[in-house]
Amino acid sequence: MGVKLAPSQKRHRYLSAAEIRQLGQALDTPAPSPTAGKAATIIRLLILTGARRGEIEALKWPEVDFEFGMLRLESSKTGAKIIPLAGAAIDLLAAEREWASDNAKWVFPAARSDGHFDGLSKEWRRIRKAAGIGDVRIHDLRHTFASVGASGGIGLPLIGGILGHRQASTTQRYAHLADTPLRRAADEIGRQIAAKLAAPVSTDGRRVVRTIERARP
């Protein structure tokens, strides 16, 4: 007799366009916490890059390649990793670089130790409450990055490459989000071709039938 497996408990939550706007407003709202600004920048980078929390919290300046616009991580959950950066992410990092000393190691240093910042959980509870997205986890920002890409028609292999997925099946969870833009594209292409295939229409709305004059023998 076979053993009945319990259904998967994994949940894939991603923010809607309205929720992303709400998050942005919450991040822009001043807070009395001394780490609020640092946490806000980290959260923005997480949703802009699709990176994992530890990859941004523990980011080192030598890993930031401004010339080629990417992060060259020495190690991650999947080993050494390259993360391409959007222009908005580069701007955030450039602003942090202006305030950092020349010999700084961490992009987001801890306030009371030589290590990196690790107080994101407490700040995230405050921020998600302010944004009205109390059920969203930090890791869901990574899901949101992928869902926005899939909904915008970006190919799943490209999304998987950015996120560092080793298996295509991991990225496949976003396939249903890619259906809508592909269908819209197919409809638009079909509409244009159909318009070209149709016979010309006269000004009074009647179809114009073109006659082909045969050459006389």
pLDDT tens string 118-133? 989 999 999 999 999 9
The confidence band for 149, taking pLDDT boundaries of 50, 70 and 90, is: confident
Q: Provide the pLDDT confidence category of residue 166 given band limits of 50, 70 and 90.
A: low
112 domain residue, yes or no: yes
User: Measured between alpha carbons, how far is residue 151 from residues 24, 88, 181, 184, 191 in Å?
Assistant: 20, 20, 6, 11, 21
pLDDT confidence tier of residue 1, bands split at 50, 70 and 90: very low
Give the CATH number, domain containing residue 170: 1.10.443.10
Quick check: is 104 in a domain? yes
Q: pLDDT-based confidence at 89, cuts 50/70/90?
A: very high
Nearest-angstrom CA–CA distance, 71 and 40 = 19
pLDDT confidence of residue 133: 95
Which stretches does DSSP call E strand in the chain?
64-65, 70-73, 81-84
Kindly state whether residue 102 falls inside one of the protein's structural domains: yes
Lowest mean pLDDT among 31-35, 160-164, 213-217: 213-217
Answer yes or no: is 107 within a domain.
yes
Structural domain for 155, as ranges? 17-175
In a domain? residue 192? no
Taking each helix axis from N to C end, the angle separating 175-197 and 140-151, rounded to the nearest 10 degrees, works out to: 10
Helices 156-163 & 140-151 angle (0-180, nearest 10): 150
Look at the chain and report how many structural domains it folds into. Answer: 1
Question: Is 9 part of a structural domain of the chain?
Answer: no
Closest CA to 135 of 10, 31, 3, 14: 14
H helices of 58-109, in order, are 87-99
Query: Scanning the structure block, which residue is given the tokens 């980290």?
Result: 42
Write down the pLDDT at residue 70: 86
pLDDT at 72 over 50: yes
